[in-house]
Amino acid sequence: MSDGKSRATPTLSTDDRHRIPRFPVVRGRRAPTVVRGPSFALTDLYHWLLTMAWSRFFVGLAIIFFAFNFLFGAVYFAMPGSIANAHPDSFSDDFFFSVQTMATIGYGDMHPATFSANLVVTAEVLLAVTGLACATGLIFARFSRPTARVMFSEVAVVARHNGVPTLMFRSANQRRNRILEAVVNLMLVRNEMTAEGEVMRRFYDLKVVRQRNPTFVLTWTVMHPIDDSSPLKGATRQTLKDSEGEIVATIFGTDESFGQTIHARYSYDSEHIRWGKRLADIIGRTTEGALTVDYAKFHDVIGEDS
């Protein structure tokens, strides 16, 4: 929760700190692990299949494929003489006949020999065509989802810029295209104790020097001045650690190649914010005067910790 107002870093006593539950702060792109109630529902089946890992997706398809053919193979096996040219009491022949029917291969060696077998084949083909269409649509949807390859510096720094302490980190577009109308949002998340002694997770928006980038091509240094109106005013490495403070950055924009909205997220906890250091310079020029970016120094910082 947040009341939308800027305030100085709250002071928590030693006793208060022990009373605060430990929130799962996870740096990087992964979301923290949160214990929830039952989350799976048939209404979420499409979203679940669309967002699961590729390995699990293909393993699931393989399990469904074999289970489907095992079921219909068992039906054919329970109908002796229903498949022409199949060996008597051969479940493997019935199973592979089901595979051929499902894939509409039709080698011609085996075929339905009875009216009841033709009815089962009709039902199997109907279900197989429907299932194949669903699987094809899911694979296409998974491949066509817009993704961003935005890289963030591994650490953020707090250093003076134009005489003002400034929080800074670096981001870069790793693809050879543009992210149009890119927008960055920065947020401070930390624990605070209310007057009633309740611990609440507070969220504060952080103003940045330049929130929009019309053509995000190479690198972008995001800066937040820690002035009198900043929620980080008076914060130190220790106060951020005590309150489990975290800086969350999100960048979104339109992918020039596909015309679709993409987004990327990263976060910095107190252990990955360097106070008194500066980001190493990565912009240079060749002997011919062409602009260069040294990504080997992308995560480097210079200076001494304060």
User: Domains in the chain, please, with CATH?
Assistant: 14-33+148-302 (2.60.40.1400), 52-144 (1.10.287.70)
* Nearest Cα to Cα of residue 45 among 146, 144, 137, 123: 137
Asked whether residue 137 carries a pLDDT value surpassing 70, the answer given is yes
Q: Which of 134-138, 147-151, 233-237, 274-278 has the lowest mean pLDDT?
A: 147-151
d(CA 221, CA 210): 9
- Confidence (pLDDT) at 182: 93
CA 39 to chain centre: 18
- Confidence (pLDDT) at 122: 94
Asked whether residue 7 carries a pLDDT value surpassing 70, the answer given is no
How far, CA to CA in Å, does 90 sit from each of 1, 67, 99, 110? Answer: 65, 18, 15, 13
d(CA 53, CA 100): 29
- Confidence (pLDDT) at 108: 81
- Confidence (pLDDT) at 33: 47
Q: Can you tell me the mean pLDDT for 168-172?
A: 93
d(CA 48, CA 57): 10
- Confidence (pLDDT) at 41: 62
Tokens of 102: 């499902």
How far, CA to CA in Å, does 8 sit from each of 75, 231, 233, 240? Answer: 72, 6, 6, 12
- Confidence (pLDDT) at 40: 56
Given a contact cutoff of 8 angstroms between Cβ atoms, the answer to whether 2 and 203 are in contact is yes
How far, CA to CA in Å, does 266 sit from each of 55, 132, 168? Answer: 25, 38, 13
- Confidence (pLDDT) at 217: 85
d(CA 95, CA 75): 10
Q: Can you tell me the mean pLDDT for 150-160?
A: 92
Place of tokens 């979420």: 44
Banded pLDDT at 29 (limits 50, 70, 90): very low
d(CA 111, CA 88): 14
d(CA 68, CA 126): 13
Asked whether residue 44 carries a pLDDT value surpassing 70, the answer given is yes
Q: Is 203 helix (H, G, I), strand (E, B) or coil?
A: strand
Banded pLDDT at 305 (limits 50, 70, 90): low
Banded pLDDT at 240 (limits 50, 70, 90): very high
Percent of the chain's residues with pLDDT above 90: 51
| Chain mean pLDDT for the chain | 84
Q: Phi and psi for 234 in degrees, rounded to 5?
A: 85, 0
Angle, in degrees to the nearest 10, between helices 91-102 and 54-77? 120
How far, CA to CA in Å, does 61 sit from each of 65, 131, 281? Answer: 6, 10, 49
Beta strands at 156-161 and 273-275: parallel, antiparallel or unpaired: parallel
Given a contact cutoff of 8 angstroms between Cβ atoms, the answer to whether 265 and 250 are in contact is yes
- Confidence (pLDDT) at 12: 52
pLDDT: is 16 or 89 the higher one? Answer: 89
Q: Which of 44-48, 160-164, 272-276 has the lowest mean pLDDT?
A: 44-48
* Nearest Cα to Cα of residue 210 among 177, 185, 179: 185
Q: Which of 60-64, 110-114, 151-155, 255-259 has the lowest mean pLDDT?
A: 255-259
Asked whether residue 91 carries a pLDDT value surpassing 70, the answer given is yes
- Confidence (pLDDT) at 196: 84
Dump pLDDT digits (tens) for 283-296. 888 888 787 888 88
Given a contact cutoff of 8 angstroms between Cβ atoms, the answer to whether 81 and 114 are in contact is yes
Percent of the chain's residues with pLDDT above 70: 85
- Confidence (pLDDT) at 261: 87
